[in-house]
Amino acid sequence: MIIRCNVVTLLTNQFSDSLTELLRRGAKQLLEQAVEAELTGFMEQFSGRKLNDGRAAVVRNGYRPERNIQTSIGPVTVKIPKVRAKDGDPVTFRSALLWCRAVCTEDSFAGGGVTLAVFEGCFRLSMKQ
């Protein structure tokens, strides 16, 4: 079993002002554009895969539920696209940019919620990516 996590510091005095909101919107836009570019490259791998009638066998299929990505300016909500294979061979798009699923906090790590083995596993995973 692989446990993926990212240890982050929670800001106790989280504030919101117009500049911070502008930065979050910009970060969201940049992340979504980067994921779209990554998806375009992923879809090009399957451009030769066609159905009997000539249509593409691998197509976009909406978005996954929005996720919060932890950044230094606070959480940013992003949409991650999905793909679908119409020919029966499953295809799954996994963003290399947004690969982390669980977010562990320093509080849960220090409080015993995350063991050292889990933390070390997260570190090794992040170094591979």
Are 78 and 124 contained in the same domain?
no
Are 37 and 62 contained in the same domain?
yes
For residue 109, what are the contacts with CB-CB under 8 A and spacing of at least 6? Answer: 7, 119
Are 85 and 104 contained in the same domain?
no
Q: 31-69: buried (b, 16+ CB within 10 Å) or exposed (e) per residue?
A: bbeebeebbeebbeebeeeeeeeeebbbeeeeeeeeeeb
Which range marks the domain in which residue 74 is found? 16-96
Q: 10 Å Cβ neighbour count for 82?
A: 14
Nearest to 60 by CA among 83, 38, 36, 80: 83
How do the pLDDT tens digits run along the chain, 129 residues long? 666 666 655 554 555 688 888 999 999 999 999 999 999 999 999 999 999 999 999 999 999 999 888 888 888 899 999 999 998 888 989 888 876 544 444 444 444 444 445 445 554 544 444
Q: Number of structural domains, the chain? A: 2
Are 68 and 117 contained in the same domain?
no
Going by the DSSP 8-state scheme, the letter that residue 124 receives in this structure is H
pTM of the full structure? 0.62
